[in-house]
Structure 1
Amino acid sequence: VVPDTVRIPWPTFCPVPGASEANFSRIYAREEWGADARSGLGSREETTREFRVFLESFLRDHSVRSVVDAGCGHWPSGYQRFMNWQGVHYTGIDVVPYVVAENAAYFQDGHNLATHGLSSARALCGDVSEQLPPADLLLVKDVLMHLPNRAVHSFLEKSVNSSKYRMVMLVQNEVPPVAIRDMVDIEPGQLLSFDVTKPPFNAAFEAVFRWKSDEPKVAQLWKR
């Protein structure tokens, strides 16, 4: 649990610049996912209403006290600012340095923390496929579908198959149960939705919530 007084300024840690950082930085700089919700249509207020209700209830019902939101995107224009975070200690991680800087500045305002029901919040620069901080819940929303297979495998090995989290929640576009990633791979920043329970990943996640966002979405849960 992160103490209430902790405010970690950007950059606390940053990976060596690589393809993921460069590609996602370009996407944000060119506003390829939109200007109003800069992390994409799936982070807008109107496309996340049902999910926000579900997530607020989930945090409360499972007594979640700390959350790592990996690939959190741009908080000042994202869905997270419309939530009541139920008093959690929150860590938002993104690979784009200036997005992390804007998130950190947003968290420095105590009024914002109180408005969103956050006990504390910090913004870190990091890659989803690398080592992530511990928490009760690791949340990864609309991220893995933009990553190549090697990065997904690394994420599963380092974060899911570890003792750092009670639960891991993935949110992705819902797709037919076809092992598409067994046949096709992508570069960081491209989009190819897939089912993480199918080859080549075969991860032990269970669907816990579905809703219609910009695309049909599914929240999948892994529990230790």
Structure 2
Amino acid sequence: MIDGQEGEMARTVSGRVIVRMQGVGGKAAPAEQDERLFVAIASYRDPECQWTVRDLFLKAARPERIFVGICWQSVPEEDKDCFEIPSPRPDQTRSVSFHVSQSEGVGWARAQAHKLWRGEEYVLNIDSHMRFAENWDERMIAQLKSCKAPKPVLSTYPPGYVPPDKLNPPTLPLICAGYFDEAGVLINKSRAIQPQDAPSEPMPSMLYAAGFVFASSRMLADVPYDPLVYFQGEEISMAVRLWTHGWDIFSPNEALIYHAYVKFTERKTHWVDNRDWPKLNSRSRSRVAHLIGSKKTQDAGALADIDAFGLGKARSLDDYQRLSGIDFLAKTISVSASEGRFPLAIYDGAREARRALQVERWSKNADGNFETHAGAGSTLAATRALRVWLKETLARLGVRSIVDAGCGDAGWISCLVENLDLYVGVDIVEDLIADNARVYQASRPMLFKSGDISRDLLPKADLILCRDTLTHLDNADIEAALRLFRQSGASYLLATHYPKADPDDAPAGGERKIDLAANSLLQAQPVDIFLDGPAKGKTLSLWRLND
């Protein structure tokens, strides 16, 4: 093909000539000039890969902005037929080659291909046996931009093709939750929507198909591919990692790429070529099951470097399970998940910004306190009088359970829980919650849960403690939190309160003085007050919520 040729163009794929007419294929509006695409391919002894590379360049609306990175795994003297057809654009095709004896599985191979990325704005992960729709690049970018999420990912099992180039009907497969294998790893399945029933925009999903993944290349740094994932488990591992890092998966609403599902060669697979594959596979499945919480392991090999390839902090695994309808520990799948019907995770920018701010504050330990990152007001010395007063108050009220809304590291309050039936600490910083659970849960009646007190309903308890937390929120979020406190069924609220504080006293990004008595959701005045200095006018005040 001659670059820039107008009108009718011909290409040869596996010996067959295909006529391509300019403008065919539902060409989308031109993308921005600097929007380059990096196509990552892991190829294991696959003669189809060369045709895949050829097809993706020839079918692109703007092939000049596409760059390919291939991890070749082959036996050079036996696999010469894998390298017969040169790339139409050799200067835009990068590769790294390994003998099959060096290969460690699909996760490792995809990670090698990703090392060939050179700053392109988008990344497309595909298998080595694919075909493409006309103008696939511009249409794919347009679909990604139409997704209603700040960090979208397009992923699905593409419709099939039979080599050399017989494309199946352009159905729209949806990824569905299939079953849990004996290792506790979720295995996907799929169902198809007919083209005439296609929705007007990409469909929300919470599952991942490794053979077709398209996103901003920020994904490569945010969620790097785990080289220790051998094969099975790759997809659910990436699904939960992406989601907990704040990425939302969508199924495309038009067919842009095709996959060869039929066996078209007698070439050996990795598990035939490599004698150590059972060990690699077992380690990988244990690793994935541990990650998703379906089956924990102490195997050091399975847990190697797992923190570098673990879950994110933007959203929790519990929230993934709740929203998806997939319970990893119980190994149950909801009807909607089995049918590939998933809700759109509504992006809450204010929540994300607040969480990021608290994570930064917590990690930096701005006060430089050796006892607690929660600030000088949360040391044992600073809370000595408070602990005496609070112990007496809880006994007087008959309080047997507390929800601590904004618990921090729960250091000072942990001294009081021996007289309680239950303490539940809630905080927006997930790492902090994990630390608290590790330190306290085994020896005390203390549970911990990540959450945003202005967005998430709290567990029911006798009393909600909210010390130095509402003071970091704006009026709308304070109102939302107070409504949730009432909805929880708690009898009492004990919260930081500055009587007659100036409502405009709110330094940007910092703590402010708030007069809770001015809020219509509470009684005009608290029923009890503790002077919680040293700040002038600061109190910890008690309200009845069930009046």
Q: TM-score, normalised by structure 1?
A: 0.78
Residues 47-62 of structure 1 aligned to structure 2 (within 5 Å): 47-62=382-397
Once the 2 structures are TM-superposed, how far is the Cα of residue 207 of structure 1 from its aligned partner? 5.3
If you compute each CA radius of gyration, which structure gives the higher value, 1 or 2? Answer: 2
Q: Which residue of 1 aligns with 2:542?
A: 221
Give the Cα separation in 2 of the matches to 1:91 and 1:52. Answer: 18
Q: Which residue of 2 aligns with 1:105?
A: 438
State the secondary structure of the residue aligned to 2:453: coil
Higher relative contact order (CA 8 A, sep 6+): 1
Matching residue within 508, 512, 517 for 1:192: 512
Residues 99-138 of structure 1 aligned to structure 2 (within 5 Å): 99-110=432-443, 113=444, 120-130=445-455, 131-138=457-464
Query: Are 1:40 and 2:375 an aligned pair?
Result: yes
Give the Cα separation in 1 of the matches to 2:534 and 2:427. Answer: 22
Once the 2 structures are TM-superposed, how far is the Cα of residue 210 of structure 1 from its aligned partner? 2.6
| Alpha-carbon distance change, 39 to 163 in structure 1, aligned in 2, over 3 angstroms | closer
Once the 2 structures are TM-superposed, how far is the Cα of residue 143 of structure 1 from its aligned partner? 0.7
Give the Cα separation in 2 of the matches to 1:50 and 1:206. Answer: 20
Give the Cα separation in 1 of the matches to 2:356 and 2:401. Answer: 29
Give the Cα separation in 2 of the matches to 1:184 and 1:214. Answer: 18
Matching residue within 135, 147, 156 for 2:473: 147
Matching residue within 208, 211, 221 for 2:528: 208
- Work out the percentage of aligned pairs sharing the same amino acid: 26
Give the Cα separation in 1 of the matches to 2:361 and 2:488. Answer: 33
Q: Deviations over 1:19-54 (max 9, x none)?
A: 111000000111114332211111111111111111
Query: Are 1:82 and 2:448 an aligned pair?
Result: no
Give the Cα separation in 2 of the matches to 1:43 and 1:11. Answer: 29
Q: Deviations over 1:52-103 (max 9, x none)?
A: 111111111111111100101012xx31133354133010000001110100
Once the 2 structures are TM-superposed, how far is the Cα of residue 11 of structure 1 from its aligned partner? 6.1
Residues 2-81 of structure 1 aligned to structure 2 (within 5 Å): 12-13=318-319, 18-36=352-370, 37-75=372-410, 78-81=411-414
Q: Deviations over 1:147-167 (max 9, x none)?
A: 11121010112213x361111
Provide structure 2 residue ranges, at least 5 long, that are not aligned to the other structure. Answer: 1-315, 321-346
State the secondary structure of the residue aligned to 2:392: helix
State the secondary structure of the residue aligned to 1:168: strand
Once the 2 structures are TM-superposed, how far is the Cα of residue 12 of structure 1 from its aligned partner? 4.6
Give the Cα separation in 1 of the matches to 2:422 and 2:407. Answer: 15
Instruction: Provide the aligned C-alpha RMSD in A.
Output: 2.4
Give the Cα separation in 2 of the matches to 1:46 and 1:137. Answer: 24
Q: Which residue of 1 aligns with 2:47?
A: none
CA contact (8 A) 1:145 1:192 kept: yes
CA contact (8 A) 1:65 1:87 kept: yes
Provide structure 1 residue ranges, at least 5 long, that are not aligned to the other structure. Answer: 1-9, 114-119
State the secondary structure of the residue aligned to 2:462: strand
Once the 2 structures are TM-superposed, how far is the Cα of residue 212 of structure 1 from its aligned partner? 5.0
Give the Cα separation in 2 of the matches to 1:67 and 1:128. Answer: 14
CA contact (8 A) 1:149 1:185 kept: no
Moved over 4 A (4+): 10-17, 184-187
CA contact (8 A) 1:136 1:167 kept: yes
